[in-house]
Amino acid sequence: MRVRAKVVAKGKVQSAGYRDEVEDVALYLGIKGFVRNMEEKDRVEIVCEADERIIDKFLKKIKIKNELIDVKKLTVKKTKPTGEFKTFKIIRKNKDSEIAERMDEAVKHLKGVKKGMYEVRDEVKGSREDIKGVRDEVKGSREDIQNMHKDMRKGQNCIKDSIQDMHKDLKSELKGFREESKQSFDSLNKNLTGFRDETKTEFQTIKTDYGKISQDLGKAVDSINTIAKSIEKLAEAIAKK
């Protein structure tokens, strides 16, 4: 359904290029009507006709907020269309006043741009100083890393020397232990050999002495047997008497 919409845009809308933006959107959507500045410096009037869905879409797109334009509020009144519009256009007061107004606004924008450029310059200067500081920090860090590398090399050399000294000491101690062990084993071997020889001699002595004792015992037994026989004979003689 086609409708007619009377819209009042309130905010930073005059001398900001807002009417040009509204015209572009209207022509894109096929809306017919006009846009013009109102007596109040913070208001723009829009009168347009189109299908209601297109009008609603148009209203969303013209509520603009950017660096130059800031639409605070849209007041909308919908009525029946009249079909009086053939296209969409900007209604201006007069050519001279529009030009002067645009020039004043352009000067104001240029001042803002100039101020922004100064701010950018200051930011660039600060960034350059920050970069210089970072560069100095990187340089210092690189020197610290180089010093750490030197210290690590010194530490590695010290560890290497310590390991070599430990190896020498261990080698010397092992050599001394081996020599002492050899002497101990040699002494033990000699002692065992002497003990074996002494034991062998003692056993031989015992064997010799045992043989002599055996002979003496044999003689003693013979003597005992002789005595026993003599006693038997003596007993028989006594019995006969």
End-to-end CA distance of the chain: 186
**In terms of DSSP H, where are the helices of 31-85?**
52-61
Per DSSP, 241 falls in state -
Q: Using alpha carbons only, give the angle 81, 86, 87 rounded to the nearest 5 degrees.
A: 105
Separation of alpha carbons 69 and 73, rounded Å: 12
- Per DSSP, the three-state class of 70 is strand
User: Residues for the chain: how many in total?
Assistant: 241
Separation of alpha carbons 34 and 92, rounded Å: 10
Separation of alpha carbons 227 and 146, rounded Å: 117
Separation of alpha carbons 232 and 238, rounded Å: 10
Query: Which residues are known to be catalytic?
Result: 19, 37
Separation of alpha carbons 112 and 36, rounded Å: 26
Instruction: Answer for the pair 71, 36: CB distance below 8 angstroms, yes or no.
Output: no
Q: Which residues pair with 2 in a beta bridge?
A: 51
